[in-house]
Amino acid sequence: MAERYTSFEPGGRRWLWQRLTAAFLVIVLAFHFFLLHFLNHADEVTFALSQARMQQLTYFSLMILFLITATFHGVNGVYNALVNSGLSGSRKTAVKAILGVGSLLVIIQGVRTALAWSGGVPI
Amino acid sequence: MSQSYNRGLIEDFSRWREFSAGMWAWIFHKFTGWVLVGYLFTHIAVLSTALSGAAAYTNTIQALESLLVVRILEVGLLAVAVFHILNGVRLLFVDLGVGLEAQDKSFYASLILTGVIVVASIPTFLSGVSI
């Protein structure tokens, strides 16, 4: 048996979460593309149409979950790719901090945008 | 603890003629992943124009969608997303121990299906744009 060619820690949870978010994203990303390019056409997008969708709690909560899982999956994937390429030591810590802050910013900005459409959490 | 391993010349791209299907799948999955995470940040930035008001958002999106180059980039994004989804499903199955012996064939199937879906989607993605 050769070495384990992986950047995931043996017994760690990052591998599991990468796969769980992947299973969710496969469905939701396909739905997102289908809804916004085939059922609705990109050139017909208006604030009012986005607002009408975001004012439904089901759609709003699905998009927030989509934002969080996509950000985690993407950033965790980048981090693991870099670790896989030999990133270590203080550079690894710095990259982890930058990616963590970047993720937080994109999630905050995404939630603010969703709230701008919905005018508040649509409960 | 995370470790990186010395994989010798596996990542030496000058050896690309020797790469197997699995190696290409790994490269394409990584490349499409980088594109998608880069796009996620860009996408949120563009959508954030909604914070400046309804008119700013609608005008920004419609101005972008009127450009042929944006539509072509969207077709590229579709190609990248569809491949990442299909190859991701392939990886999930391989992780579960299903289809490991046919992993090269499932990679080729992912490529072909991506091509078919993208070509079939081009008319929809280019509709209403003036050249």
CB-CB under 8 Å, A45 with B65? yes
CB-CB under 8 Å, A83 with B2? yes
CB-CB under 8 Å, B58 with A37? no
Assess contact for A99 and A74: CB atoms under 8 A.
no
Helix axes B103-126, B68-95, angle to 10 degrees: 160
Contacts of B7 in chain A (CB under 8 A): 5
Domain regions of chain A by residue span: 15-118
Residue A14 has pLDDT above 80, yes or no: no
* pTM given for the model: 0.88
Domains (ranges, CATH) in chain B? 21-126 (1.20.1300.10)
Residue B119 has pLDDT above 60, yes or no: yes
Assess contact for B11 and A18: CB atoms under 8 A.
no
Of B18, B98, B71, the residue nearest A42 (C-alpha): B71
> Dihedrals φ, ψ of A13, to 5°?
-95, -15
B82-112 burial string, b = 16+ CB within 10 Å, else e? bbbbbbbebbeebeeeeeeeebeebbeebbe
The predicted-structure confidence for B70-116, as pLDDT tens digits, reads as follows 999 999 999 999 999 999 999 999 988 898 889 999 999 999 999 99
The answer to whether B123 faces chain A, any CB pair under 8 Å, is no
Amino acid at B92: L
DSSP letter for each residue of B6-44: --TTTT-GGGGGG--HHHHHHHHHHHHHHHHHHHHHHHH
* CB within 8 Å of chain A, chain B residues 54-113: 54-55, 57-58, 61-62, 65-66, 71, 74, 78, 81, 85, 88-89, 91-92, 95
DSSP state of A4: -
What value of ipTM does the predicted structure carry?
0.89
The predicted-structure confidence for B29-56, as pLDDT tens digits, reads as follows 999 999 999 999 999 999 999 999 999 9
A38, A43, A113 ranked by CB distance to B50: nearest: A113
A45, A67, A87 ranked by CB distance to B61: nearest: A45
Contacts of B2 in chain A (CB under 8 A): 7-9, 12, 83
